[in-house]
């Protein structure tokens, strides 16, 4: 009898609070944010990325709102599957009092007279692909003695540690280990790489790391004048003088167009710029312009072309290319632009799902497509036939990838186009 009562009480709880019992909490790093669709995509360890909506009722903790979040931030999200998140908490790692400095203070140290050691505490791979100039690398997730052995012997020397931003734990770990070892002059740049990028300050890529990536999956741009580029250049490089970037920026502003590097719509494309030296004006101009266009993986070749030659790394002397041939590796579920262009979008066994906003489709509706804005897809699954293949598209590919995650998890046969598109008045689609 007692068991039956408890069972009935349990059932009553389930009936009264069904969403509370189904609520979930995930922690991971932000991959993408769609402010148009109030949706984020999170990379969660050991499982597929999770797509979660937010709305006016979502509480933000350690952040002033979605505007205070960015790609690669670590967040903890409380949500019920299929519903907007109830809470999004930015996971922030603090530093001891008096330790933290900002980007202006870092610049003052780098340009001042006091000797310093600047330490990038991230793993080796991210360090090689793009680090703050003059940095050394010492990853904290090693034996503490090994970490301390990489630091200077002078315990009074100024040490500045940084990593991947306020949601990265390595800066705090480095500060603690250095303090325990008796170092007395320690600072932590908690803003780290994300803050440095936001201020459009240059990052340096290791020459040997670049030498291993002279392939179409990386964009290598020679910003020198064409005469110098023709005399010798990195294999696979494209000549694009710095003045070209400034001209393009002026055109984008004049024509009120989205800024885009020709033939590189992927904002996550790895781009390496070089000139004679890494501090040459032309390469710094190109870096500034590309950063302002929204490309998040731009770096300058450390030591420039002169250092490249001095290191005995490969040089080509034949005609340099003037058009970029970037070949991005397709993500799981992604359709190539070539296959998309050859696909009959009106096939009976195919559903083209346009997840752009209502405002966006006012300029053109894809012929034969079903239009469901991303934020409404989870509530509209009854409009999608599981017996058909679904091809998701949006203006840039970000929301299309998100809806792919949602539908794939729900058992649909779905792919997505990860490209910028333009829809004409007649309903035809052009990949930009």
Q: Is residue 190 within 8 Å of 95, Cβ to Cβ?
A: yes
In angstroms, rounded to a whole number, what is the distance separating the alpha carbons of residues 300 and 204? 5
| Burial state string for 195-213 with b = 16 or more CB within 10 A and e = fewer than 16 | bbbeeebbbbbbbebbeee
User: Is 163 tagged catalytic?
Assistant: no
Burial of residue 300, with CB atoms counted within 10 A of its CB: 0-12 exposed, 13-18 middle, 19 or more buried: buried
Selected catalytic residue, list 177, 285, 394, 406: 394
Give the closest residue to 129 by CA, choosing from 193, 198, 223. 193
Q: Looking at 91-135, list the stretches that DSSP marks H as alpha helix, in order from N- to C-terminal side.
A: 103-111, 124-129
In angstroms, rounded to a whole number, what is the distance separating the alpha carbons of residues 162 and 192? 5
In angstroms, rounded to a whole number, what is the distance separating the alpha carbons of residues 151 and 94? 22
Contacts with 183 (C-beta within 8 Å, 6 or more apart), sequence order: 151, 155, 156, 157, 159
Q: Is residue 343 within 8 Å of 391, Cβ to Cβ?
A: yes
What are 245-249's contacts with CB under 8 Å, separation 24+? 245/285, 245/286, 245/289, 245/290, 246/285, 246/289, 248/289, 249/289, 249/292, 249/293
SS3 labels along 191-256: CHHHHHHHCCCCCEECHHHHHCCCCCCCEEEECCCHHHHHHCECCCCEECCHHHHHHHHHHHHHCC
- Catalytic residue numbers, as ranges: 394
């Amino acid at each position: 009898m007692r068991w039956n009562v408890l069972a009935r009480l349990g059932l009553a709880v389930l009936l009264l609070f069904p969403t509370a019992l189904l609520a979930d909490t995930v922690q991971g790093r932000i991959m993408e944010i769609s402010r148009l669709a109030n949706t984020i995509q999170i990379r969660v360890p050991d499982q597929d990325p999770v797509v979660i909506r937010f709305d006016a009722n979502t509480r933000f903790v350690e952040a002033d709102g979605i505007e205070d979040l960015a790609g690669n931030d670590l967040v903890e999200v409380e949500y019920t599957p299929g519903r907007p998140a109830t809470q999004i908490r930015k996971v922030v790692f603090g530093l001891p009092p008096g330790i933290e400095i900002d980007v202006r203070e870092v610049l003052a140290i780098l340009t001042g007279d006091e000797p310093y050691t600047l330490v990038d505490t991230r793993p080796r791979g991210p360090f090689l692909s793009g680090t703050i100039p003059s940095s050394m690398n010492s990853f904290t997730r090693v034996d503490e003695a090994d970490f301390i052995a990489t630091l200077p012997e002078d315990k009074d020397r100024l040490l500045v540690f940084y990593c991947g931003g306020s949601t990265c734990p390595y800066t705090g770990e480095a500060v603690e280990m250095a303090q325990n070892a008796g170092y007395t002059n320690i600072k932590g740049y908690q803003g780290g790489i994300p803050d440095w990028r936001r201020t459009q300050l240059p990052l340096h890529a290791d020459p040997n790391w670049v030498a291993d990536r002279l392939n179409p999956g990386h964009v290598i741009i020679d910003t020198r004048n064409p005469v110098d580029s023709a005399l010798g250049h990195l294999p696979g490089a494209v000549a694009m003088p710095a003045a070209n970037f400034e001209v393009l920026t002026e055109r984008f502003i004049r024509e009120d167009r989205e800024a885009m590097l020709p033939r590189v719509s992927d904002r996550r494309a790895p781009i390496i710029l070089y000139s004679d030296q890494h501090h040459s004006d032309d390469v710094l101009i190109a870096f500034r312009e590309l950063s302002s266009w929204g490309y998040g993986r731009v770096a300058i070749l450390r030591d420039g072309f002169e250092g490249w030659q001095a290191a005995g790394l490969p040089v080509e002397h034949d005609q340099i290319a003037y058009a970029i041939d970037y070949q991005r590796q397709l993500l799981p579920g992604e359709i190539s632009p070539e296959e998309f262009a050859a696909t009959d979008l009106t096939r009976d066994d195919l559903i083209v799902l346009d997840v752009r906003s209502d405002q966006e489709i006012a300029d053109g509706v894809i012929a034969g497509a079903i239009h469901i804005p991303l934020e409404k897809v989870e509530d509209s699954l009854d409009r999608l036939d599981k017996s058909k293949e679904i091809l998701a598209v949006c203006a840039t590919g970000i929301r299309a990838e998100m809806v792919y995650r949602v539908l794939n998890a729900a058992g649909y046969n779905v792919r997505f186009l990860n490209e910028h598109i333009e829809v004409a008045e007649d309903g035809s689609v052009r990949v930009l």
